[in-house]
A and B are shown apart, each in its own frame.
Chain A
Amino acid sequence: MELAGLSLSEVLTVLGGFAAAVVVLYLLKLRRRQVEVPFVHLWQQVLAEKQTTRLFSALKRILSLLVALLVVAALAFATGDPRYAGATDEGRTTVVLIDASASMQATDVAPSRLDAARERVAPLVAAMASADRMLVAQMDASTVPLSPLTSEPRLVEDGLERLRPTDVAADLGRGLRFSLDVLAGQPRPRVVIVSDGVLGPTGRVAERAREAGVEIDWIPIGEGGRNVAITAFSVRRYPLDKSRSEVLVELFNPTDEDASVELELSGDGEPIDVQRLRVGAGERLRRFFQNVTGADRTLEAHVAMADGAPDAQPADDRAYARLPERRRARVLAVSGGNLYLSAALLLDEYLDVTEVAPADYPPPGEFDVTIFDGWVPPSPPGTDAIYLAPVPAEGVEGPFVIRGEIERPFFDRVDRDHPIVQFTALRDVNIAASLDVELQDGDRVVAGDTGAPLLVTGSRSGRRLIALLFDVRRSDLPLRVAWPLLLINSIDHFVQEDARYLSSYETGETWYVPAPGDVTEATLVTPSGEERLVPVVDGRAVCTGLEAGFYTLRAGETEEVFAANLGPSDEAILEPAEALELAGEPAGEPEIGAASVRTEIWTWLVLLALAVIGVEWFTYHRRISV
């Protein structure tokens, strides 16, 4: 037995002081209530009979004194916080990393893997010795401590209650780095990973942990079960018909058995398509939904087993996408008269075109894009601009310095990755002549002849430009489908409706979401309704989220909705790992100590004192002992 509180001498001092006080109080004569009676002789008869019990009364008084001294002794020793020998040895410091990734939402172990994780950790907490300290943390894309590093099991248990599932992959490397930081300098460090074992690479941190002498244990969770997941989901509008969309869905069956599933597509909350599909064992099945109509803002995909039974992982059965907004682009065409240009601009009903002659430039109003057809304004325009054969007038400085002309150039090289040339065929376009220009730093040749550029992008005076360095009327380009596509791609490039529009973000990643308005802060509303402020940098809100679903970004009076989906497809794999190898060594099973060494005797001493006081009170006031 050892004392963790007051020393033995201090305990004895307290005991002696209070015991002496109690004895003195008992020696003081009891002050009685005085009551007048009419005839005390009658009482004397009664008291005469009581004389025989005087000895018993004296004994009871001594017993009462002993009881009081017992209470004092119990409380005095409680101040010493006595412990069993060995309980005050140097304890173990443990960080429990609980995997809260999407795969931990699987229901292959009832009610879910996350609940099973809680249950598996509970004995570990219950077995904490007095000197042991523990911290429990939620490990998802980041690692969040749920309790302080404490020797109080109750605080750790409270932390376990705060554990919440997420729709992201767990980052074990980050979890281990966090653990190493916590365990630095702590006695007998240990990390306990509670997970299904489907975790990504950890890099060097696992080796560092081994080198630091940190014991790494693993509590495996999960049994495996059937699952078909949506691992990819995106949507884009057709460039020429923005009322229709094309949708890509990828299904993944990570199990060993084929599965029949029903894939349902909903637009703006209403079902728009249902397909029954068969996904082979281990297969990734891609499906394109062409000419999808009926969705204007949001799309949602839901996969379910064809037999109606739920699969073991509900988190990856749904995917979400946001359709790009169909905003009408305001286009100013400055031209002396070009039927090909006018006709091409008529093809896109989402363009709001204003045509003016060069003499009337600039007209009143605001525009997103200005097309200069064979004419260069005397001063740089206030919008992004498309230049067609930009030959400046005398005394005017154009976007390019023109060195001369090139006869019969061809589109020998085309940067197919650039969005403005997507879906276009330019190689056999016949061109009479093109301008030979001097490019500036930052200019990029998207297409051109071997000796000269024909299609250039760049920026001047802070505004972007796209320049077609020949007169389309002196080529057969206007007779080809590529001409209106090239023009519309260019306009879309400026108004953000390019083919790389992100219809959804990935949970756990950092998102840069275009923010409406000129703000520095916006409010992000998660799918579960939680609101938080996020910063806006260069017109984009920088944020992240752990839930799949539709988010709302609110800035001032305007709102933007965007979608987020579950991250890596590994989360669909429910088969638990057989072993968790870290730095070439398998993680071991955590050792669970005997709970009895934790017993704190002082609580029992206080309870004993309270019990004795309670018994004394009861026997006195119920007239059992008096």
Chain B
Amino acid sequence: MLDWLRGKPTASAPADEGDLFDEEFQRRLDVLAIVSRKLARGRTRAERRSRKTGAGIEFADHRQYAPGDDFRYLDWNLYARTGRLLLRLYEEEEDLSVYILLDVSRSMAIGAPTSKLAYAKKLAAALGYIALANLDRVSIVTFADEVGGRLAPTRGKNRIFKAFEFLRPLRADGRTGTADAMKTFVAQNKRRGVAILISDLYDPDGFEGGINTLRYHKFEPYVVQVFDPAEVRPPLHGDVRLIDNETGDARDVTITPRVLARYAEAHRAYRRRIEDFCTQKHVPYFGVETSVPFDEAILDLLRRGGLVA
């Protein structure tokens, strides 16, 4: 916060924030896992079922026959009644894949006392743990303007420590380029599943492209936008030069209360735009301020959106 006030450049590497995933953090994760199961029990079964049709035993739907389809799945009874060649589809029982897409661009380094990246890491760890506890396959992928590191898909609660080890050394760097990064992601991951996008969505080229890419490739995107309180209400005054910490673009501005009010309105409008977009596309959206404790934020996500379970 002080760095922000003094206008000093914020380091891309996170400040020494201690061990993000200490025992206290892990204890909270256990509590979250239990709570998530209780919440899920009321509306669906314990395990998630994939929407993929295939060699299951439970009928799901029909579809038009296409050359090359397996004759064994043709519904002859229906052909006899209607004269149309329709294929029987069955739900295929398989593990749910949960992809946690973590934005590690330079803009995520901003924030005090907790940077957005540190907060996002905690969210990623918590969501990953809950998914692992539900026997889902979890993979963590970092991105900026392209895909960075990747935690290979893994299962089982005890694999959470591998997730911690993956998350700990992450540093914020690079420009935000969601669209390109998501293209790469979908190309690399043919197995569909839930894609939880954790980012500030400060993408100069627009946030829509990345989300659409996920949608178009049959992923179930969830958008978690992380922002720092000081981004909403910047504690600035006087003549300043604003420098974009990703692009280096500079703007001279004299900050007055009126300018601050306009900025706050612009920020609200930007968030509203994201939310409206997600609503239109049936993509769950969550805006999370880093001043909210991460476990409260997770519970809020669980209650509102059925993100997990």
Contacts and interface: CB of A to CB of B under 8 A. Distances in A.
Contacts of B251: 40, 43-44, 47
Interface of A: 30, 32-47, 49-50, 623, 626
A50 B260 CA distance: 12
Nearest to A44: B251
B253 A43 contact: yes
Interface in B248-268: 249-254, 256-257, 259, 262-263, 266-267
Interface of B: 4, 7-10, 107, 110, 200, 202, 204, 231, 234, 236-247, 249-254, 256-257, 259, 262-263, 266-267, 270
Residue in A39, A42, A46, A47 whose Cβ sees the most chain B Cβ within 10 Å? A39
B262 A33 contact: no
12 contacts: A33-B7, A34-B241, A35-B241, A37-B242, A39-B244, A40-B244, A43-B242, A43-B251, A45-B266, A623-B237, A623-B256, A626-B256
Given A43-B253, A45-B266, A626-B256, A35 B236 contact: yes
A42 B262 CA distance: 10
A42 B267 contact: yes
Contacts of A46: 253, 259, 262-263, 266
B297 to A, nearest CB: 19
B267 A34 contact: no
A405 B8 CA distance: 128
A33 B256 contact: no
Contact of B262 (A30, A37, A49): A49
B243 A34 contact: yes
A36 B7 contact: yes
A166 to B, nearest CB: 66
The 5 closest A-B pairs by CB, nearest first: A35-B7, A39-B202, A40-B244, A38-B107, A32-B241
A41 B246 CA distance: 11
A33 B240 contact: yes
A38 B270 CA distance: 14
Contacts of A50: 253, 259
B247 A34 contact: no
B239 A30 contact: yes
B256 A39 contact: no
A625 to B, nearest CB: 10
A30 B241 CA distance: 10
Contacts of A39: 107, 200, 202, 204, 231, 244
Nearest to A41: B204
A580 B251 CA distance: 85
A30 B252 CA distance: 10
Contacts of B237: 623
A600 to B, nearest CB: 39
Q: Is the interface of B mostly helix, strand, loop or mixed?
A: mixed
A34 B263 contact: no
Given A41-B204, A623-B256, A626-B254, A35 B262 contact: no
Nearest to A623: B256
A43 B107 contact: no
Contacts, number: 91
B263 A36 contact: no
A452 to B, nearest CB: 117
Contacts of A38: 107, 110, 200, 202, 231, 244-246
Contacts of B246: 38
Given A36-B7, A38-B200, A47 B253 contact: yes
A39 B259 CA distance: 16
Contact of B263 (A32, A42, A623, A626): A42
Contacts of B231: 37-39
B239 to A, nearest CB: 5
Contact of B239 (A32, A37, A45): A32
Given A43-B253, A47-B253, A35 B259 contact: no
B266 A35 contact: no
Given A43-B263, A46-B259, A623-B257, A37 B234 contact: yes
Contacts of A40: 242-244, 247, 249-251
Contact of B110 (A33, A36, A43, A49): A36
A43 B237 CA distance: 14
Nearest to B252: A32
B208 to A, nearest CB: 15
A525 to B, nearest CB: 68
A39 B249 CA distance: 9
Contacts of B242: 35-37, 40, 43
A216 to B, nearest CB: 68
Contacts of B249: 40
A626 B258 CA distance: 10
A38 B110 CA distance: 7
B254 A37 contact: no
Given A43-B253, A45-B266, A46-B266, A36 B240 contact: no
A36 B256 contact: no
Contacts of B244: 36-41
A36 B9 contact: yes
A35 B110 contact: no
B251 to A, nearest CB: 6
A50 B8 CA distance: 25
Contacts of A41: 202, 204, 244
A34 B9 contact: yes
A36 B245 contact: yes
Given A32-B252, A33-B240, 10 more contacts: A32-B241, A37-B110, A39-B202, A39-B204, A40-B243, A42-B267, A43-B251, A47-B253, A49-B262, A626-B238
Contacts of A49: 262
A47 B200 CA distance: 22
A626 B250 CA distance: 20
Nearest to A40: B244
B108 to A, nearest CB: 8
B245 A33 contact: no
A37 B245 contact: yes
A534 B256 CA distance: 75
Nearest to A624: B256
Contacts of A37: 110, 231, 234, 242-245
A46 B8 CA distance: 22
B256 A42 contact: no
A604 B254 CA distance: 34
A44 B259 CA distance: 11
Contacts of B253: 43, 46-47, 50
Nearest to A32: B241
Given A39-B107, A42-B267, A43-B253, A33 B238 contact: yes
A60 B237 CA distance: 18
A243 to B, nearest CB: 94
A40 B251 CA distance: 8
A35 B243 contact: yes
